[in-house]
Amino acid sequence: MNEIEGGKFLSLRILALSGVVATIFYLSHVIGGRMVWNDYNPLVQPISDLTAVSAISRPLASKILLGYDIFNLLFCGVLLVFFKSFFPINKIFYSGLILKTLAELLSTFGYKFFPLTDTTWGNSFQNTMHYAITAIIVFSYIVLSILLAFGLSKVKIYPKMTRFLKIFSVVFIVSGFFTVLAAQVLPSYVGLVERINLYSLMILNVVLAFWIRSLLSPIGVKPNKL
């Protein structure tokens, strides 16, 4: 490996940590919002209530969430560059990464334009748009989770990561289904089930970030099995 390649790999190893930093910001906005909103019930209320227009937690939570948005989009860019130019897997896997980026762009800007107007989840135009954006993002993640798992399984040289992506797909899809079901049947647990769904996305970012770093390690550059 020459000095230029070594510098690029080092830069990517550092930038890959943006996925971890984004997750820290996301968790911080939840914790910070709950600290401000004493009556917030995480078992019943979804995380999006913390940034609703009428929520007392919005000023703090939305500012912290901005950090998540910045580092999350940076991480999406790192994923696209890394798996396009340094460790290409196949078109199926890369299609999943492209869809992930599009979903995150929609999440970042869509929710900025159409945040919840209130925590009662009324049927206003703004709330309806918020629901529609959420539906598109969830569907996108269902598809991309399958693309990532299937695409990586075809190369058969990253068994541990392939197994993780398969588990993630099952957890995300099942928890997403039960979130919708809980809203209709067990509304007292919507917040809890939704957290399983959303936190699985944060875990995905962290695992992908450390996977990139392992692939860019002196041993992983060959490449090796993970």
Specify whether the CB–CB gap between 195 and 47 falls below 8 A. Answer: yes
> Are the beta carbons of 211 and 226 closer than 8 angstroms?
yes
Does the residue 128 lie in any domain?
yes
Q: Return the pLDDT at 224.
A: 40
- Average pLDDT value for residue range 32-43: 94
Residue 173 exposed, middle or buried by CB count within 10 Å (0-12, 13-18, 19+)? middle
177, part of any domain? yes
Which one is predicted more confidently, 61 or 182?
Answer: 61
204 pLDDT above the threshold of 60:
yes
- Asked if the structure places residue 223 within a domain, the reply is no
- Give the separation between CA 90 and CA 225, rounded to whole angstroms: 16
Whole-number pLDDT of residue 122: 72
Confidence of residue 127 (pLDDT cuts 50, 70, 90): confident
Tally of structural domains, the chain: 1
Residue 197 lies in a domain: yes
Does some domain include residue 97?
Answer: yes
Report how far residue 159's alpha carbon sits from residue 41's, in angstroms, rounded to the nearest whole number: 39
Contact predicate 136/167, CB 8 Å: no
Residue 222 covered by a domain: no
Domain span at residue 168? Answer: 3-215
Is residue 193 assigned to a domain? yes
Average pLDDT rounded to a whole number, residues 209-225: 70
Total-model pTM: 0.90
pLDDT at 218: 59
| The predicted structure's pLDDT at residue 7 | 67
The whole-angstrom separation of Cα 115 and Cα 134 is 11
On the question of pLDDT at 61 being above 80, the answer is yes
Domain contains 111? yes
